[in-house]
Structure 1
């Protein structure tokens, strides 16, 4: 498969996926159930909002069943460690931060940001080799989020964080989202890429006619372009403010570009004929449990500031309400899909949209087998 296949118009896309090679179960020869594929840990994943990790405090995070404690030292640097004390396995997230050191709440064993034990207060004389400590994760802060690299630490330096130029642009203001969704992360990719589900949002968006203009796909990505044409009906005020007819005062339809660039997802809305997006959305879906049937969705919605000073500030509450309503409806749908999978014990999905068949192949091909992880108790 080439890095990027030619863009396909709507008619050609209708039958494009039938001849593709799909990952198969080596025992049965059947196409592997995507909902049993784990996410590749060799990427940077957000596990907390930066504001949730104040100085000298801890935060209990999780990635795919593995507990992680974040703590911010006195210098302001954030560290990420396996969330268990090497002594009695008590969560280190229950501990106390002293400078750049994290002490377990139980016996005050002290850990450096490297995971190594720096002190055991009552260590008997003659004990030369205390436990080595716990695993430390590479960690970075960017875009108001704390990212960890849960995979092979040797690959962390070569792995790039997502590039979000609108986040740092003075012409945009960012709205952040952080929500738990009870479904496999693949349902989230399918939901955003498949704009044919706008009937679900009819009470918020009114009547919208999405037209697939074409899409491209490669080994690690799928990108689709839609034309969103209003077709009447009552819409939420925030929907109008975000669309081409809103803050910019335009009257042309929006061109929506949605891209899964494994493992992240983006959406951009560009008024027809414009050069810059009216808004850009970046999202990451981070599995929480070992079976990866629950994910935490992190989103950054970067909205272009209009020429009128203060207009975006006044519109902010309406836009927030609109996005929350849309997200709630999407969450309802994808969680219902997950419940059906749980009840049936397999994927009985009867997909007919080639674009979604292609993104499933990308997620299968780049995912990893699910491995048992420590159970999460609540």
Structure 2
């Protein structure tokens, strides 16, 4: 089922025989025990939660904190958290509740829908450039990375001349196979960029999210420079990298499944369904979300003691047959199910509506513009992002 370590607990499976399916052995672990002990990349043992209902139970339970003492998914085990207010990923209630409320009003469905024309323009311009260049082209470099970078940079008002630097920083900060110094250096570069951006917006407010936060009603007095930098950094990096991964990996999957791509080409109204199935099937948070129990908790037949760490493996949960029938079948006509690609509970992704809109526009436009788009290299020769926080492809050569 999975490799056994010297300590006795099985290692969390990471090797994939099919790059579009979860790691081999993960389903067996879920079937045998949806909550079990496992050994992680750091060499430490912790609880591994793989069942759909069990994952949801942990993610909605305030007894599990995001302030973990050790990182389980990196070899050094160091926790790279951002201190201070505004960094939603590493906050518990009540600070998380208050700060999320301040930010959520800038991510309403209405405001995100208003971004559609600008997103469509960005997509069209990049496809124009690809067509002018001619194939083959690396779709990741030419489209999947720059499109979400442009969208989120426009939203936050990142200057055009600094957007390439921001892309480089985002990639560096998402690696799990580099030393601490390299990650810290990327963090320092991001901090410098964000500080300058906040100062510029305070001096000359514009029609962007940072300017909106600067001028928002703040009865608690929490929106200071550090809050703005933490919030912008968290959202910029997360929104860019996740959407870029989904565009690249989703395109690779559709090109590898011509029957499903034909359905989308024949009926463009399926794009919403297709995006939800892509999100479920490719759940790119490949290592899961880490939590620590703040008190003794009993559920699913096990007792998790206060101080013990837990990993909710959302990828395994999204392939739980108790949640979705025949989970390994990719089917864009499947009725959308409440997948966990955006998380669940208090920490569910605040930018999920923006991501959905971007993906709908991308996959609703790409195959109209390039109906004969195809892979220029066999799938087995592609380099997948096993070394990154979010799964995807490092490059995607395509032609038409």
TM-score (norm 2): 0.26
* Greater RCO structure (CA 8 Å; 6+ sep): 2
Q: Which has the larger radius of gyration?
A: 1
